[in-house]
Structure 1
Amino acid sequence: MSELSILLKLFEQNKISRRQFITQATALGLTAAISPALFSSAAQASTPTKGGRLVMGCTGGSTTDSMDPATLTSNMNQNLNWQIRNNLVEIDHNLQPIPELAESWEATPDAKVWRFKLRKDVEFHNGKTMTSEDVIYSINHHRGEQSKSGAKAYLESIKDIKVDGKYEIIFELSGGSADFPFIMGDYHLTICPAGTTGQQWEEGIGTGAYVLQSWEPGVRAMATRNPNYWKEGRGHFDEVETLSIVDTNARTNALKTGQINYMDRVELKTVHLLKRMPGINVTATTGTAHYTMPMLVDQKPYDDNNVRMALKLIVDREELLRQVLRGYGELGNDHPIAPVNRYYNGELDQRKYDPDKARFHMKKAGMLDHTFNLHAADAAFAGAVDAAVMVQEQAKKAGIKINVVREPDDGYWSNVWMKKEWCMCYWGGRPTEDMMFSVAYANGAPWNDTNWEHKRFNELLLAARAELDNEKRAKMYGEMQEICRNDSGTIVPMYNQMVEASSEKLGHGPISGHMALDGMRNGERWWMKK
């Protein structure tokens, strides 16, 4: 491919601006080769157009999936959720909160009271106008005593929610929360009509760019463009079809043969081959996503930190990064805060593979004769079974025995994750430290998948949430990462880039690293080129 062709491709994909295109072409002495028609064609290709069908092949779909926003777990239903629904706040591609159903917000100086002004004349798919009543109902859906919502932990600081007319909401918090707008952008907290309950969640009534037409959990969903969508410049496709295709090879073949035009989690072993295929674009986006191996610390022998430390030390992270991710990622350090997060602690020593030290800790725990079951399925992430087998081999040098238990892909998230004592797992990450720690590491959090509890950690979590001094806050989050690294039941071997592939017929702007599939919003943000 010529240098000019490369520049044009980058411009078509909105990866460089018109000015950057001209500057780089000039520096390379290529301006004479650029005809107005050629540049005009590239500009037209990067301009959103209406029409066409987006067909996606996604991982993780399960027959146990639900469209209840409180229980979203798989890429399939998380993405579908944002096709058909909106939040008060959207997290953009720079991991910053921007207005969505809320047109603005403001806080008191202590960040304890937040006032959100809602957009007016926004309609649900059933024709009902959205008001503050719907917002309060939707948020309270996750706050109930019996709630199993993954967002429940984020909302525990809310003391009261008040209405100030039909289009203003006031949140009163028990303590300051500098990140509160980020919380309102969490994918669970989409706004639905007041009174929605039970089977009604599966109807998918929302305010989103698409109207749900059919929904087969773990199989297929079909949605059509909302003719009354309120958001300018979004929702371009006539139809969006979302398919659960758990097997990586099946997803890849579906893309190659044109059965789908977008796939997540490209097989990294063969990504170099996919890159060579005409008509296919491969993107690799760095974000907050990471792979984990959680252990239930309230079960023996994982209640002993010597066991946990030994298992952390027998993981050769560099080999996993090289073999499983093919270099598309960064080394993990046994905490969930990614290098792109604001308060990432880059001063912590990188944990390394150390069989001798691992053996020392395991012997100290008296568990050298124990065989550890590591439960795995590629539903956790592409290559999860291979990664588990690699860890099994790595442990042998320390004299530690691991039995890899291969689980079915279907139902993995409901039958294995948070149920089996040690397993493979994937986290999309969160845009802030408070959100990530609150949902997966705080004491009593619904998705604390190790049942870990640490007094100092939980004290720091509350203090950092309310701290408005940036330097003090960074110090607190740095200490929390160190506590996780040295005590928690979570092994974090690597942060992965989100490697996905699509037809070159699809157009898009800057891709978000917030979550997979362009922050789970590719249905709303992308378009079909003419």
Structure 2
Amino acid sequence: MTEFEFKLKQAQKAVSMGKLSRRDFMSFCVASGVTIAAANTLFSTAARAEAKKGGTFRAAMGHGQTTDSLDPATWSNGFTFHFGKSLFGAPLVQVGVKGEAVPHVAESFEAADGAKKWIFKIRKGITFHNGKTLTADDVVATINYHIGADSKSPAKAVLSAVTSVKADGPDTVIFELSAGNGDFPYLVTDYHLGMYPSEGGKIMWDKGIGAGPYVLKSFEPGVKASYERNPNYFKDAWFDAIEQLAIVDVAARTNAFLSGEVDYINRADLKTIDMLKSAPDTSLYNVSGFAHYTAPMMVDQKPFDDVNVRQAIKYAINRQELVDKILFGYGSPGNDNPISAAMKFAIDPQPKYSYDPDKAKSLLKKAGFETIKVDLSTSEAAFAGATDTALLMQEHARAAGIDINVIREPNDAYWDNVWLKKPWCMCYWGGRPSVDAFLSISLAADAAWNDTHWKNPRFNELLVAARAETDDKKRAEMYAECQQLVHDDGGQIVLMYNNYVGAMNNKIGHGDFNSDFDDDGGYCWERWWMA
């Protein structure tokens, strides 16, 4: 190492610790022969390298609606999703950057009785925002809120194997399952499952009081939420305050970033991505993960109740063109398997649903149709580019004798009034940490979010059996058959796997990104900092 390299390293360390100003760092670099542009890059990199407390983080989400609620059983979009991930909520377990299950509110967890029993030790000294100490009773009450007989929570399907959850003293919670499940800790990372204070076995969710890194100060559904750092948080959180904005319109969201109103936006407009990339002090947030865009058909509604019609529509969509024109290459074509190739136990079902109008026509004839007309509901609330996607699908399908009537739905309340209500619509899915978690929440017969109403007996039998299987080879075979059944018989059209693409100001520091969900797995609020 030369003398200059040694001094540069020391100067960068001083910058990361806030002990050397930009002006002095630039002067040192220029005097040593470094160009201004290179010196500026070196400073920005160093300034973001070490986490430090301070600043207000302003972020604009491509989701949020006026019907949003603080009730964790109702959270269904990319705005409320963050509540339980790392804003005011704190779950038992988080997902690490390598996809591992990391104890959080739980200090540790271990399996017993062939993974039919799970013992969670609760971290001592955690307090809720109202000062109440978090105990095992609060954990039990929180879980029971989601799995109770009258619960409408999507987490109920995720935890369907839980037969009982009990406190064993103030710091231990024991889950009993109907069958063994080696992936159980991943299930309690679900974003609905942030812990709440309880009284008499009932949780108090109406004030947004949790044990997470930020204290909720205000909430205007469909508009914004504001927070202050929790001074008693049991781990580190870096921002002093947070402003979380709901800006569903992608143009407005982009303008908010370019004008400096926000420091970060998700769901960037890929049509104008070059403009974002070249904006001053901007870095592109581009992370590939498990997310995908879908067009779910309700298989108990005509004409989608005929598998030949479902397959005809699947062959009538040019998915590669969707990737090229909607994602601009920031993704890959789907093949009606919701399990990403990057996940353990994933397969690539055959045959591929490549664009084949003639095959689509023959399948329609098999169903008794020469031509067919179907409604497809869409909105930018579903995903950025959903309307253009629907129009391209309309164009593709015409050659197969399929007339798609594209219905543009309002952005607001799309997830309440369209998804799970209309026979065919646009949807998106973020990641889930395991195959079981994903299939359970979206395709199990009794899942609250089974948006295709698909109830395949063989699939549901395999799903239960695979959870309890400890032999990975046998488990892989079961999950392979599950994925093939979804591909062949299901109503969930996986149009394309999308990268998470956004834009952030260079003053935001961060570590390695989590690919489980968008926004650093939903942990950006806790893991990022202001450089």
Find 2:357's aligned residue among 336, 355, 359: 355
Deviates more, 1:157-166 or 1:194-203: 194-203
In the alignment, what sits opposite 1:513?
515
- Give 1:250 shift: 0.3
Instruction: From 50, 54, 70, give the equivalent of 2:53.
Output: 50
Q: In the alignment, what sits opposite 1:155?
A: 159
Structure 1, residues 485-514: CA drift from partner, whole Å, max 9, x if none? 010011001110000111111000111111
Q: Per-residue CA shift, 1:72-118, capped at 9, x if unaligned?
A: 11211111333111111001121210010001011115111110000
C-alpha separation between the residues in 2 aligned to 1:384 and 1:79? Answer: 22
TM superposition shift of 1:367: 3.3
Could you tell me how far apart the structure 2 residues matched to 1:374 and 1:267 are? Answer: 22
What is the letter of the counterpart of residue 193 of structure 1? P
Q: Report 1:135-284 matches (<5 A).
A: 135-195=139-199, 201-231=205-235, 234-284=236-286
Match of 2:18 in 1: none
- The answer (yes or no) to whether the contact 2:51–2:529 under 8 Å persists in 1 is yes
Structure 1's 33 and 41: CA in aligned 2 closer, same or farther, altered over 3 A? same
Question: In the alignment, does 2:155 pair up with 1:129?
Answer: no
After TM superposition, give the deviation of residue 45 of structure 1 in Å. 2.7
State the distance in 2 between where 1:42 and 1:324 align.
32
Give yes or no for contact 1:135–1:192 (8 Å, CA) kept in 2: yes
Q: For residue 126 of structure 1, what is the amino acid of its counterpart?
A: N
Matched to 1:72, the amino acid is: W
C-alpha separation between the residues in 2 aligned to 1:199 and 1:166?
Answer: 17
* Superposition deviation, residue 44 in structure 1: 4.2
> SS of the residue aligned with 1:76?
coil
Q: TM-score, normalised by structure 2?
A: 0.91
**8 A contact 1:202–1:215 mirrored in 2:** no
Q: Is the 8 A contact 1:112 1:175 kept in 2?
A: yes
Does the 8 Å CA contact 2:129/2:215 hold for their aligned counterparts? yes
Inter-partner Cα distance in structure 1 for 2:380 and 2:41: 44
Matched positions, count: 501
In the TM superposition, residue 42 of structure 1 has moved relative to its aligned partner by: 3.9
1:421 matched residue in structure 2: 423
Shift of 1:201: 2.4
Correspondence 1:53-92 to 2 at 5 A: 53-81=56-84, 82-92=86-96
Aligned partner of 1:424: which letter? M
CA contact (8 A) 2:335 2:495 kept: yes
Give runs of aligned pairs for residues 271-420 of structure 1, distance below 5 A: 271-346=273-348, 348-420=350-422
Change (3 A) 1:470 1:384: same
Is 1:108 matched up with 2:143? no
Match of 1:467 among 461, 466, 469: 469
Q: How many angstroms apart in 2 are the aligned matches of 1:94 and 1:41?
A: 26
Q: Distance in 1 between matches of 2:33 and 2:479?
A: 53
The aligned amino acid for 1:391 is M
Contact 1:89–1:101, Cα closer than 8 Å, also in 2 = yes
Cα separation, partners in 2 of 1:41 and 1:385, compared to 1, 3 Å: closer
Alpha-carbon distance in 2 for matches of 1:323, 1:399: 23
CA offsets, 1:439-488, max 9 Å, x none? 11011111000110101101110111111111111111111111100100
Report what 2:16 is aligned to. Answer: none
Percent sequence identity is 47
Which runs of 5 or more structure 2 residues have no equivalent in the other structure?
A: 14-31
TM-score, length-scaled by structure 1:
0.91
| TM-superposition CA deviations, 1:107-159 (whole Å, max 9, x none) | 11511111000000100000000000000000001111121111101212111
> Helix, strand or coil for the counterpart of 1:117?
strand
User: What's the offset of the Cα at 1:368?
Assistant: 3.4
Q: Please state whether the residue corresponding to 1:161 is helix, strand or coil.
A: strand
Alpha-carbon distance in 2 for matches of 1:427, 1:195? 34
> CA separation of 1:198/1:265 partners in 2, compared to 1, >3 Å: closer, same or farther?
farther
Q: CA RMSD in A?
A: 2.3
Task: In structure 1, give the amino acid aligned to 2:100.
Answer: Q
Distance (whole Å) between structure 2 residues aligned to residue 217 and residue 199 of structure 1: 21
The equivalent of 1:499 in structure 2 is 501
Relative to structure 1, is the Cα distance of residues 196 and 256 closer, same or farther in structure 2, using a 3 angstrom cutoff?
farther
Asked if structure 1 preserves the Cα contact closer than 8 Å seen for 2:196 and 2:204, the reply is: no
Shift in CA distance, 177/199, structure 1 to aligned 2, threshold 3 Å:
closer
